[in-house]
A and B are shown apart, each in its own frame.
Chain A
Amino acid sequence: MNVRVRFFAQFGELLGTDIIAEPSSGVALDSLIKEIASKNKEGYDAIFDEHGSFREFVIIMRNGKRLDMADAKKARIADGDEIAVFPPVAGG
């Protein structure tokens, strides 16, 4: 199946902004993001903490709807999903 993963702001700078992944059926959302993010340690560390959990400020959207952290952990990817991962930016 095909899934589109988009990283924004500094996540995109570190991991690429638009990635088409072909995960196996039923893969967990956090596993997919971890697999993609593992290609760049700085990118991985920006998104995940030392326990491998999403950092609490990270925003995960699935098909335009925000997932809270508990849902993001247990969510399963479906064919055609579009996942957006971004940090709030704080500068002014």
Chain B
Amino acid sequence: MFSQRELERYKRQIMLFGEGGQERLKKSTIVIAGAGGLGSPVALYLAAAGVGTIKIVDNDLVEQSNLNRQILHNDRDIGKKKVDSAAEKLQSINPDISVWAIHTTIDATNATSLVGNADGIVDAMDNFATRYLLNDVAITKKIPLFHGAIRGFYGQATTIIPKKSACLRCIFPKAPPPEVFPVIGVTPGVIGAVQATEVIKYLLNIGGLLTNRLFIWDGMQASAEEIHVERDPHCEACGTKKEMKRKRT
């Protein structure tokens, strides 16, 4: 059941998917891994849309050099935990949702419990090591992973439905070398909005997801396209021995 305030808040999107759809969003839990460039727009849009429980995980403090792109945080937040800064903004945007601020480093010892019984994981990380870990957790728990990554004016996104569509390792078997990447804030804005759109469609079971498709955005050329990708039966993360055997015979 919704309060009058909620009905008013969500009026324009209830026009799209009804109170039943809004109820599904309200009952959903999404883990956002990262409260930085991608995590900011993803969290803002999911909070505004009324995703009932948002768990946002990050181990960093807000720094001045974050503020060109990490739009959840502002100058007054410098030195604060990013997740606390994020939770404060998200709750003020939508007091009718629950926000869990989890200040920790995602690693092999805690990834599974951090994800818990969430309905989906948003990959808003800045490194492939943690992305691969989230990919493994998504596969084990059979919950979707909404991938996004950016560099400069360029970004990519895909949606992974474990065992049904290509996983992160099927598409990117090897991580690129770590770097301090250049970025302009609009790029994670575009890709984060794509990821949030995917989450909402998945939760509502509407539309066509970015499964088996890598969405590519080149802001410099104002060009968007997609590359068809597919599951790799030999994938070390989601390929099964059974599938490998079947492939060989």
A interface residues, Cβ below 8 angstroms from B? 8-10, 12-13, 17, 56-57, 59, 61, 64-66, 68, 84, 86-92
Contacts and interface: CB of A to CB of B under 8 A. Distances in A.
B162 interface: no
A67 to B, nearest CB: 12
29 contacts: A8-B216, A9-B151, A10-B152, A10-B154, A13-B220, A17-B221, A59-B171, A64-B227, A66-B229, A68-B173, A88-B156, A89-B155, A89-B156, A89-B181, A90-B126, A90-B128, A90-B131, A90-B149, A90-B175, A90-B176, A90-B178, A91-B37, A91-B151, A92-B34, A92-B123, A92-B124, A92-B125, A92-B148, A92-B150
B80 interface: no
B218 A89 contact: no
Interface residues of B, number: 40
B152 A88 contact: no
B172 A88 contact: yes
B5 interface: no
B183 interface: yes
Contacts of B155: 89
A57 B175 contact: yes
Contact of B181 (A57, A84, A86, A90): A90
Interface of B: 34, 36-39, 123-128, 131, 148-152, 154-156, 171-179, 181, 183, 188, 216, 218, 220-221, 227-230
A10 to B, nearest CB: 7
Contact of B38 (A64, A88, A92): A92
Contacts, number: 83
A91 B150 contact: yes
A13 B72 CA distance: 30
Residue from the set B34, B36, B155, B227 with the largest chain A CB neighbour count within 10 Å? B227
A50 to B, nearest CB: 14
B228 A65 contact: yes
B68 to A, nearest CB: 13
Those 3 A-B pairs whose CB atoms lie nearest each other, nearest first: A91-B181, A92-B126, A89-B151
A89 B214 CA distance: 12
Given A9-B151, A9-B154, A17-B221, A91 B172 contact: no
A64 B229 CA distance: 8
A17 B229 CA distance: 20
Contacts of A84: 227
A84 B37 CA distance: 27
